[in-house]
Amino acid sequence: MGLRQGDWIEWIELDNQFPKFHRIKSWRVKEYPGRCVKTAPAREGLSSGELAAKETVHELAEFLSRRYPQVYSVTRRSPAPSDFGWYGEGEIESITIVPLDVTYDLEKDDSMTVAGLLVQDDLALLLPGPDKKHYLQAGSICLAGSWRLEDKIGLPLASIHTSGDVPQYQQKLEQSMDRYFSKLQPDKLVVRHNYQFQVVADNQRAMQTSLRQNDPEELSWAESAFGDEGTYQHGGIGPAQGEQIGIATRPEEIYYRTERQTLRRLPRSGAILFTIRTYHEPVTNLAKESGVPGRLASAVRSWPPEVGSYKGLHRYKDVLLDYLDRAHDEQVAKGLDTTSSPLKYPF
- How far is C-alpha 305 from the geometric centre of its chain's CA atoms? 24
- Check if the beta carbon of residue 126 is closer than 8 Å to that of residue 149: no
What pLDDT was estimated at residue 122?
98
Coil/strand/helix, residue 30: helix
Q: 279: burial class by Cβ within 10 Å (0-12, 13-18, 19+)? A: middle
Give 126's DSSP letter: E
- Check if the beta carbon of residue 143 is closer than 8 Å to that of residue 21: yes
* Angstrom distances, CA of residue 211 to CA of 217, 250, 270: 9, 22, 36
Coil/strand/helix, residue 64: helix
What pLDDT was estimated at residue 202?
85
**Roughly what angle, to the nearest 10 degrees, separates helices 317-333 and 292-301?**
140
- Check if the beta carbon of residue 142 is closer than 8 Å to that of residue 122: yes
Distance in angstroms between the alpha carbons of the first and the last residue of the chain: 30
Q: How many residues does the chain have?
A: 347
- Check if the beta carbon of residue 335 is closer than 8 Å to that of residue 298: no
Who's near 125: CB < 8 A, 6+ residues apart? Answer: 49, 52, 53, 56, 112, 136, 137, 138, 139, 271, 272, 273, 274
| Cβ atoms within 10 Å of 233's Cβ, excluding its own | 13
Question: In angstroms, rounded to a whole number, what is the distance separating the alpha carbons of residues 107 and 75?
Answer: 12
Helix (H) or strand (E) run with residue 326 in it:
helix 317-333
Residue ranges, the chain, pLDDT below 50: 237-243, 346-347
pLDDT digits (tens, 9 = 90+) for 256-285: 999 999 999 999 999 999 999 999 999 999
